Homo-oligomer: A and B are copies of this chain.
């Protein structure tokens, strides 16, 4: 009853986002226009612009709508196992088709458009990082990590190489590579054996 009001609006919103992802998969984010999304969705351009201020904003929302309830950290007590499990899930989702190429392009857009960058950080990157930090902090509080363990740095060392591999080197991420990174993080690559 209560969601009857606005259900029409929600229908449009959902239809537009669905169409955006659909078209994105077909022709790629870069070649896509708001005009094309609106036409394909059977919607006036104004109806799109009323909801999103740019192609990047639309895509960010569209991708996030796929994401709900995913990528939450387990806490089994074993921080390393939990990190592995969660990061494997993340790259399964974000580095593989159909989301992978669109996520990559969205980050590209963010590097060109500060508004998109801010929104991406606020709605995805930062919350995700905070989950990682929170999980590490829990481990530290439980004494699994040393008291001076640098949480933010660890988060960077976990995420950085994966983004580097995926975005800069542009090779697919493997679970094996993830494991090597986690391993190195906790054991170091010490100058001497």
What residues of B have a CB within 8 angstroms of the CB of A49 in the complex? Answer: none
Contact with B along A113-148 (1 / 0, CB 8 A): 100010001000100010000000000000011110
Copy number in the complex reads 4
What residues of B have a CB within 8 angstroms of the CB of A105 in the complex? Answer: 111-112
- Stretch from A15-23, A37-45, A60-68, A184-192 forming part of the interface with B: A184-192
Give residues in A with beta carbon < 8 Å to B.
Answer: 29-30, 79-80, 104-105, 107-113, 117, 121, 125, 129, 144-147, 149-150, 153-154, 156-157, 159-165, 167-170, 180-181, 184-193
A60 CB, nearest partner CB in chain B, Å? 14
A-B residue pairs in contact (CB < 8 Å), sample of 17: A30-B113, A108-B112, A109-B112, A111-B167, A117-B170, A145-B191, A145-B192, A150-B184, A153-B184, A153-B189, A154-B189, A157-B157, A160-B162, A160-B163, A161-B161, A164-B164, A186-B189
Cβ–Cβ contact B157 & A181, under 8 A: yes
SS class of chain A's interface: helix, strand, loop or mixed?
helix
| Contact with A188, one of B79, B144, B186 (Cβ below 8 angstroms) | B186
Report Cα–Cα, A117/B180, bound state, in Å: 26
A107 CB, nearest partner CB in chain B, Å? 6
A32 CB, nearest partner CB in chain B, Å? 11
Q: Which residue of B lies closest to A186 (CB)?
A: B191
Cβ–Cβ contact A107 & B180, under 8 A: no
Q: Which residue of B lies closest to A149 (CB)?
A: B189
A96 CB, nearest partner CB in chain B, Å? 16
